[in-house]
Structure formats: C-alpha cells, structure tokens
Chains A and B, each alone.
Chain A
Amino acid sequence: NAGVMQNPRHLVRRRGQEARLRCSPMKGHSHVYWYRQLPEEGLKFMVYLQKENIIDESGMPKERFSAEFPKEGPSILRIQQVVRGDSAAYFCASSPLGGDPDSPLHFGNGTRLTVT
C-alpha cells in the first residue's frame, strides 16, 4: 500500500512564475491536508480538502494560492506569481476520517520549493 505521494520532490521557480504541487493520498483516504514548513519552523496548516470540496482554507494566503482535489487525480496546490517568501517545504497529509481528532495524519515526503 503506497503512502502519500508528492511530486515533484524539488521545484525551482523564478519570481513571477507559477508553481504546481501534486499530492496523491494513501489508497482509501479521501481527506487531504496541505501544510507549509518554513526553515527552522514547524508546520503551518494551509487547507483541508475532500474530493471536490474545500472544507477549511483558513490557513491559505488570500492571494495567489489555491488548492483543489478533483474527483479523479491528485490534489493540486497552486501558487501563482511566486515570490521569494514562498520558498518552503510543502507537505501533504491524508487521513481516512477527516475531522476526527483521533485520526493520525499520514504525510508525504514533501515538495521543496525554491524561488530564485
């Protein structure tokens, strides 16, 4: 049973370009979470999605960031017009029971975005 798959592992973008980060949850999981980890910091919640629905996006910046989890295919985190401050590791996690405080999250290995 494959774990949470994120790609690419490393992504380099110039300022102003778009970054697209992909996440395939574990088999049988329909709840996906995106987190951002800045250097020397913990994880900050960004967005929680179920298939075709955004459930909680309270951690998403108001501009340039969007996320989707279509009926078919992986979840996508999209960052438009990237700036240097977007450089971070972006982690995706999935769980079988969304919103269950007892349900642990299963993490991917992350995508490390570098904006030059």
Chain B
Amino acid sequence: AQSVTQLDSHVSVSEGTPVLLRCNYSSSYSPSLFWYVQHPNKGLQLLLKYTSAATLVKGINGFEAEFKKSETSFHLTKPSAHMSDAAEYFCVVSEVSSASKIIFGSGTRLSIRP
C-alpha cells in the first residue's frame, strides 16, 4: 500500500532564508510524486512533478525537489523564501492507474516572517 507523510504541519522561516518542506512516501512500485501549493481560498496549483526521469526536479516559483529512493523522500526546497510563498503545500504520490490511489499528504503550512 502506498502512503505519504509530511513531517511538519507548520514551517516558519524568515524572508530570504531557505525553505525545506519534508515529505516521505511508501510505495510498492515506482511512484510518481507531486508537490501542490494552495493559497488561501484557492484551489491547488501544481508546483512540480517527478515521473522517473531526473531525480532533481525544478518547478515554478524557484522551488525544486529531489527524489531519493534510498530514503523514500521527496523534500521540497527553495533557496530564498519570498512573502508570496506563504501557503499550504501538499505532497502527493500516485502509483497505479486508479484515481483512489492518488494520495495527498496532510499538508504543511508555510509562514514567512518579514
């Protein structure tokens, strides 16, 4: 069975400092992994996806994530946080061709201090 765990429910960083949002997954097969961002009262927007190509994936707004199979991790990073990055971030794992197998993490709320 597949699952996804976001290790921090809330992360707070100062503007201009690095961001690290952690995600671990379990999967019986080679998964596809995604990060989505949700701004207040908005839908979810795709940040980036990993689909068994390059392990370091670059997304929009300066975010990137690295797939580490040995650690079963897919952490999201950004070198320098901006105030507009404050939002909820969801790590998502998709394993087989079944809609119910697209599993969302519980989310990490990112706050940016001025």
Contacts and interface: CB of A to CB of B under 8 A. Distances in A.
Interface of A: 4, 6, 33, 35, 41-45, 48, 55-56, 58-59, 91, 93, 98-102, 104-110, 112
Contacts of A56: 98-100
Q: Rank and list the top 10 A-B pairs by shortest CB-CB distance, nearest first.
A: A48-B99, A107-B43, A99-B97, A101-B94, A107-B44, A42-B106, A43-B104, A42-B104, A109-B43, A102-B51
A91 B107 CA distance: 15
A47 B45 CA distance: 20
A51 to B, nearest CB: 15
B84 to A, nearest CB: 18
Interface residues of B, number: 26
Which of B32, B99, B100 neighbours the largest number of chain A CB atoms within 10 Å of its CB?
Answer: B99
Contact of A101 (B96, B100, B104, B106): B96
B99 A91 contact: no
A43 B100 CA distance: 12
Interface of B: 31-32, 34, 36, 41-46, 49, 51, 90, 94-102, 104-107
B45 A55 contact: no
Contacts, number: 68
A45 B99 contact: yes
B43 A91 contact: yes
A108 B44 CA distance: 7
Contacts of B101: 101
B67 to A, nearest CB: 14
A94 B94 CA distance: 15
A40 to B, nearest CB: 8
A42 B90 contact: yes
Nearest to A33: B99
Given A101-B31, A102-B32, A102-B51, A42 B98 contact: no
Nearest to A43: B104
Contacts of A48: 99-100
21 contacts: A4-B43, A6-B43, A35-B104, A43-B44, A43-B90, A45-B100, A48-B99, A91-B43, A101-B31, A101-B94, A101-B96, A101-B97, A102-B49, A102-B51, A102-B94, A107-B36, A107-B43, A108-B43, A109-B43, A110-B41, A112-B41
